[in-house]
Structure 1
Amino acid sequence: MSDFLDALETRPPEAREAALLAALPAHLAQAQRSAAFGALLAGVDAAAITSRAALAALPVLRKHELFERQKAGRAQDPFGGFATIGWNGLRAPSGARRVFQSPGPIYEPEGEAPDYWRIARAMHAAGFRAGELVHNSFSYHLTPAGSMMETGAHALGCTVFAGGTGNTELQLQAMQDLRPHAYAGTPSFLRILVEKAAELGMALPWLSKALLSGEAFPPSLRDWLAERGVQGYQCYATADAGLIAYETAAREGLVLDEAVILEIVRPGTGDPVPEGDVGEVVVTVLNPDYPLVRFGTGDLSAVLPGRCPSGRTNTRIKGWMGRADQTAKVRGMFVHPSQVAEVVKRHPEVQRARLVVAGEMANDTMTLHVEVPGAPEGLAERLAASVRDVTKLRADVVLAAPGSLPNDGKVIEDARSYK
């Protein structure tokens, strides 16, 4: 029984990087065939985008922008022009097997490719194997989570029980009758099922593994499940991008999926941060049906150094570390991370910045902390003027030594008292 789904997981990192960059021009050309990216990437020579530096020069598409484009063009195209597949009357050839609605609403297509969301890789790393029965407790209506897990399990050769959400006692009865080997769903619902089984005197000795997503999976819950015979592993996936990264038996971060080009950028910008710094997860997903380019997930994470002890050679990230959208309302005005980035851009000597909003509501104060070598004369005053110009609000400025600000990805820290 192989520890790896395929040879891609253990190829030399240099070979992987070369393959991803070689695929990038064709992916960009496919994206430009969609109406949305045709406009967003107008004038871009796809054939010239063959390096990470060239990719980083392209605009970041953030989720709120995707939603706004979908909303604006919904009468003509519910996907906002981002998909290259659809159905009769939307575009030809059709190619869409299913369509889903996530909160917003945002609509996502599912194409005809096997394991369209690429979840099989995460399931295999969690120990799922052909011939096993998977109890799938993700939703099968509106959102794609249920289909994401089911198609991944089918790609491995597993049988799936479509449990869906809720109905705890009915799902427990199905577990008693069907004896599943594995569970797919949220960690909190798995805990509810295990606790309810104990309360009812039901044993679940066949259930030994789980792939969990959709919410935080703390080590305390991981250990609690392990004490009850279930080894739980998490994966990081979204309705837009599919699988982004997954946990392995090494339990050291999450390994990237093989079809994803990852960047970690400074929140509010498209600028990649140094390796190890916390920033927003931005992904380019090699999916011709929904060819996202530099899609900003809105999630914070950081790249882990070194290789995974499991033997997989792809890049690892720390996992979910919070949200990148740190917009704060100060004295009736919205202040965005992009505005902090604009202030920093005007002063090249500044290496990093963090805007701290303090005080009590209706009595807000702003302090811009910046990392800068030395203490250049007049810099604090010039920065304060830039803050006023960009945000229309006043701020104090504190000059700090390089490396002294927290490495947590925060560009705006809301430290106000809400009592």
Structure 2
Amino acid sequence: MCVLWLDDAETHLGSGGLRRNDVLRLINGKDHHRVVIATLRAAEEARLTARTTEEGRQAVKDVTETLAQARRIYLRRMFSGSEQERARARAWDRRIADALDHAADYGIAEYLAAGPELLRDWQNAWSPNTDPRAPSHPWAAALITAAIDLRRAGHSAVVPCTLLDQLHGHYLSIRGGTRLRPEPLQDAWEWATQPRRATTALLQPIGGEHVEVFDYLVDVVQRDARPGREVDADVLPAALPHCGPSDADAIAITAYSRGRFDIAVAGWRAAGALAGETPADTLTRRNNVARALRKLGQPEQAAAEHRAVIAERTRLLGPRHPDTLISRDNLANVMRDLGQIEEAEAEYEAVLASRTSLLGEAHPYTVATRERLATLRAQRTKDNSGH
């Protein structure tokens, strides 16, 4: 028997990652027994499978098909009563006894991992560093906050220390800057990376030049995020040179959702420039670039890119493939922007006919195209009537 362990499965999924057939090839066979075990947080699965745009359909489909093969075991944060009773049988271990004392507030596992303690340390570190007898660590807090936001933006890989050096000043500035009397940067790094409860650190050093932010902090911030606490789009461009294709995709999606279409274009182009691309991935990213160019007020460039993608998708997939129809629908949107009303109407009509045939009248894609066509015709009628 052979067991493959994939910790933090989100780093193995998405663009260029494991797909359904990869897993099947790995586990199928008559002369062996192979098992794949993986961990995946709910927030990461939601990000990977979020249908924010129809253009991401293929990537979402790949992830969904891969995960559909799994037998899921859900691990709740809070222990049940019977689980707590079993834990009490081992309360001779002081760490477990301590965790049980806080079981009403925190999950035992996360408490054992020092989650609440580290969360408190990070939050308290923002206090002004004005008392030499009880120094605080606002510079370290800024480093940690930058690392958390990078993870929330989609940078799932370990973070280069040089990137945090570049970004943390932004977070320190918006919290008060020099008025916080921050400690020396070297002291900040030492405090942020020092082990707590023997092994856990706020920023865990990886190989000397990278760090990994403690997962519990990311989960708490993401869970408690409110409007106005989204990831700051200004930090995203600096992360792109340090990203693989999957992370660059995620950052582009984050930027697009925040209305930073220039960063989205840069993110999808950066992802497309990396090695290991399949034609489907390349064309999906180019299609997304064209959508972002339209949002940037560059319809001519957007139309040219859409036409190029349509030509390639038609050659590879056929004129009525769902992906080809996505690009054709997008091109019709740009034609409408350019005032090419008759051309846009003809394209919408062709897409609608194909989607109705392939997907049915009630499918969301079909309905969306029908609504766009109806809106176009209503506007043309209004313009022609002079009202």
How high is the TM-score relative to the length of structure 1?
0.27
Indicate the structure with greater helix content: 2
Decide which structure has the larger Cα Rg and report it. Answer: 2
**Structure in which a larger fraction of residues adopt strand:** 1
User: Which gives a bigger RCO, structure 1 or 2 (Cα 8 Å, sep 6+)?
Assistant: 1
Give the TM-score taking structure 2 as reference length.
0.28
